[in-house]
Amino acid sequence: MDRDTYRVAILGCRGRGRAAALAYHDHPRTKIVGLCDLIEERVDALGQQIDVTERFTNLNEMIDQTAPDIVAIPTGTEFHHGLCMAVLEHRVHIEVEKPMCIDLVQADDIISKAERQGSKVAVHHQGRVSPAMQTLQHAVNQGLIGNIRYIYGSGKGYYGGYGLMNIGTHMINNMLRFGGSCRSVVAQATTKGQPITPQDVVPSPSGMGTIACEHLTATLQFDNDVTATLLQHRFDKMDTSAYVMEIYGSEGRLFWKGNNAWWLPQPHYFPNVQQWETLDLVVPNHYKSDNQSDPSDYCFVDDYVRALDEDDEHECSGYEGRHVLEIMMGVFESAARGKRVLLPQKDRGHPLLRWRTEFGLGKLEPLPRDYGNWLSTQVD
C-alpha cells in the first residue's frame, strides 16, 4: 500500500487526540479527513485548530463518509477493545493509545480481527520511535557500547501498579527495542511495606483495568542474555526526573531521559575519570521547527507511513503492544504467586482477578477514576 498521502481520521479529541491530530496534520504524507468525539465542543475546538471541517459524533458515519486509511483511537484504555473492534469492521488500519487493552483476552481479540480484516495495528508508544530513542539505536548500531548486557528503567513515582500500566508500558516497549523478546519475569510487589495480598487488588484509575501494589520491582529476561530491571515505586510527590532508562554495554553506556540522549564511552562510571557525552538527536529531515506537534508523535506517524509504504509492521505494532501487555500481566502474576513466570502465558485472563477468585473474593467495588482522588482511597 503505497500512496502519496494517507487519509487519517481521529476518534477522540481530548489531550491525546489533539497530540495525535497535530502530528498527522504536520506530516507531509498524511491528511486528516475527519474528527469524531461524543462531545461536539471538543470536535469543533480541534477542528478549528487544524482546519478540519468534517466533524462527527458517530464513528461509523465518520468512516463511511471520509474513507480513511488509518483511524487513530486516542481514548481511555477501558474503551480500546470495543472501539478497535468496531473500527476494524471497516477494514481500515488503526492506531490505538497505550496500553493496548486491559488484559490479554482483549488484545488477542483485536489482533485476530485485524489479521482477518487485513488491517495493521499500531499502539501509540511514541517514545520507542522518538528522536532520542532513535539516537540510542544509532549509537548501538555503531558499536559505541559493544554488546548490550543490562537495561534499567524507572517510572515517575505513581502508585506502583498504576505506574506499570500507565508509564511502565512505555518503558517496557523501549526495552523491547534493545533487548528483543522477553522470555520471563520475576517481580516483587508491596503495599504499605508488606507483600501484596488478594485484598490489595483494586480497579485502576484512568480505566486501566485491575492493578495491585504500591511499590513494584521487576526483573525481565530478554533474548541474547539481556536482563532488565523495571522500577515502579510510589513517591510522596510525582517526579518526572525519575523517568529514565539506562543501557549497559560491554564497552560503554547510554542514558535516556525525555528528549535527550547521552553516551558514556566506558562500561563503568568512575567520577572525574570519564564524562557523559551528549548525542545529537536523529530527527526526520522533513520535521520543521515551526511544527505544532511533539517530535515523538511526529516520528510515530512517520513510521506508520513507512510501514504502509513497505507493507511492513509499525515499530510499535499491535504485536509489540500485546507483548508489552503480556509482560505487565506476567509482572502481576509473578508478584501475586511469588514465582518466575514464563512468557507467553497460557491463561490469557487477568492474573490478579484469577488470584482473587481463588481466595473466594467477590467483584471489585468501583473507585474514583481520577488518579488524585483514587490515590486518596489507597494511601493514608
Q: Which DSSP helix (H) or strand (E) runs through 22? A: helix 15-26
Q: Which phi and psi (to 5°) does residue 86 adopt?
A: -70, -45
* pLDDT per position as a tens digit, 316-335: 999 999 999 999 999 999 99
Report yes or no on whether pTM surpasses 0.75. Answer: yes
pLDDT band at 364, cuts 50/70/90? very high
Domain range summary for the chain, segments of one domain joined by +: 6-126, 129-285+323-372
CA angle 85, 94, 26 (to 5 degrees): 150
Mean pLDDT of 226-235: 98
CA dist., res. 262 & res. 256, Å (int): 7
Nearest 10 degrees: CA dihedral of 45, 49, 54, 59?
-60
* pLDDT exceeds 80 at position 151: yes
CA dist., res. 294 & res. 226, Å (int): 31
Q: Which residues contact 22 (CB under 8 A, 6 or more apart)?
A: 50, 291, 292, 293, 294, 297
What does pLDDT average to over the chain?
A: 96
pLDDT at position 48 is 97
More confident residue, 270 or 340: 340
Q: Which residues contact 216 (CB under 8 A, 6 or more apart)?
A: 160, 161, 163, 164, 187, 188, 189, 230, 231, 232, 233, 331, 335
* pLDDT exceeds 80 at position 288: yes
Q: What is the CATH number that goes with domain 129-285+323-372? A: 3.30.360.10
pLDDT band at 226, cuts 50/70/90? very high
* pLDDT exceeds 90 at position 1: no
pLDDT at position 310 is 97
* pLDDT per position as a tens digit, 14-67: 999 999 999 999 999 999 999 999 999 999 999 999 999 999 999 999 999 999
pLDDT at position 162 is 98
Mean pLDDT of 358-363: 94
3-state SS, residue 106: helix
- Can you say whether the dihedral through the CA atoms of 223, 111, 82, 174 is positive or negative? positive
Cell output for 154: 524507572
pLDDT at position 380 is 72
* pLDDT exceeds 70 at position 170: yes
Q: Which residues contact 133 (CB under 8 A, 6 or more apart)?
A: 127, 174, 177, 256, 261
Per cent of the chain over pLDDT 90 is 95
Domain 6-126 is in which class? alpha beta
More confident residue, 158 or 272: 158
